[in-house]
Amino acid sequence: MKGLFKSKPRTPVDLVRQTRELLIYADRSPDSRESKREDKMVELGKLIRELKLVLYGNSESEPVAEACAQLTQEFFKENTLRLLITCLPKLNLEARKDATQVVANLQRQQVHSRLIASDYLEKNIDLMDTLISGYENTDMALHYGAMLRECIRHQTVARYVLESEHMKKFFDYIQLPNFDIAADAAATFKELLTRHKSTVAEFLSKNYDWFFAEYNSKLLESTNYITRRQAIKLLGDILLDRSNSAVMTRYVSSRDNLRILMNLLRESSKSIQIEAFHVFKLFAANQNKPPDIASILVANKSKLLRLFSDFKTDKEDEQFEADKAQVVREIAALEPRDSS
């Protein structure tokens, strides 16, 4: 067997074709003789490794653009990606890792200055459903998760995921007990909510109510330290992004949101406190504070001022100090309303 393949160097197109044939075999022949199957799976693993070498090069040689383009074109000409994704659980660990790297790389390959992976995924968008549900399978989660994150580099794919029912599941995935998987899901969640600005802004405006209700109750008020820390950081990133200013204005007008943020400010974790401050400052700096927001701030004025008086980052941070000074000025200037 070894001799057979050593004798003739295979072109990138050959490699993809042979991989595809073996994937088709792996996909639908559970009852063929065990020994023969094993051989073929070994061969499949080798082929995937070779695809990876073409795309990434090795310690001696850089990848060749022409070969990468040929490989990519052949790969997406037929349904190789679908086969690879569905057969992934049947591969061994090394082959799974190679396959994940191949899929990741293919998302960035241009053929005639087009990302043909994007075109393919648009027509096969249901593959995202498979990848996302990978978070429910301990063995597949990290592989599917890594592929998923590469696929959502394409805006249309990210939009599909954001608008799908899957979005709700992420609130649970990022709290899975298995740290590797939860952290991977959190990374994907963050990517979805920060990568494509206009898509994110549109999504958040359309889905404001359920999204932030979930975000507050499941993440910011989670009992899990890591969840709270990651969530408050991401919330800051989202709200402070210029493209989300409409969402931000809406967020800082809610009394419930302010209450949650004030609780986070009181946390004993320095990291959470600092991140919470970056969101809290938006409430204080808002020049059109609704009366109920203003009255909460007035009621807690002395407590807040005391908190901020010895509120420091570990490292000197001019921006932070400036922000803090402004927040302190805003709060100090607040007067109780006559009516209240």
Q: Does 187 bind other proteins (CB under 8 A)?
A: yes
Least distance from C-beta 222 to other proteins, angstroms? 11
Centre a 10 Å sphere on the Cβ of residue 82 and count the other Cβ atoms it contains: 16
Q: Is 149 an interacting residue with respect to other proteins (CB under 8 A)?
A: yes
> What single letter denotes the amino acid at residue 19?
T
Candidate list 57, 64, 111, 254; residue touching other proteins; CB under 8 A: 57
290 touches other proteins by CB under 8 A: no
Q: Verify binding: residue 184, other proteins, rule CB under 8 A.
A: yes
For the bound state, the minimum distance from the C-beta of residue 215 to other proteins, rounded and expressed in Å, comes to 17
105 CB contacts (<8 Å, ≥6 apart)? 52, 55, 56
Half-sphere exposure of 82 (CA within 13 A, CB side): 14
Report in angstroms how near the CB of residue 197 gets to other proteins at its nearest. Answer: 19
Query: With CB under 8 A, what is the number of residues at the site for other proteins?
Result: 35
- How far lies 1's CA from each of 36, 42, 261, in Å? 12, 11, 65
142 touches other proteins by CB under 8 A: yes
Residue 194 interacts with other proteins (CB under 8 A): yes or no: no
Q: Which of 184, 166, 162, 167 is nearest to 175 (CA)?
A: 184
Cβ-contact 94, 45 below 8 angstroms: yes
**Residue 315 phi/psi, 5° resolution?**
-110, 150
186 binds other proteins (CB under 8 A): yes
- Tell me if 70 sits within 8 A of 12, measured CB to CB: yes
**Out of 80, 105, 216, 257, which residue is the one contacting other proteins (CB under 8 A)?**
105
The encoded tokens of residue 148 equal: 């998923």
Q: Which residues bind other proteins (CB under 8 A)?
A: 52, 55-57, 59, 63, 93-94, 97, 100-101, 104-105, 142, 146, 149, 177-180, 183-184, 186-187, 224-226, 229-230, 269-271, 314-316
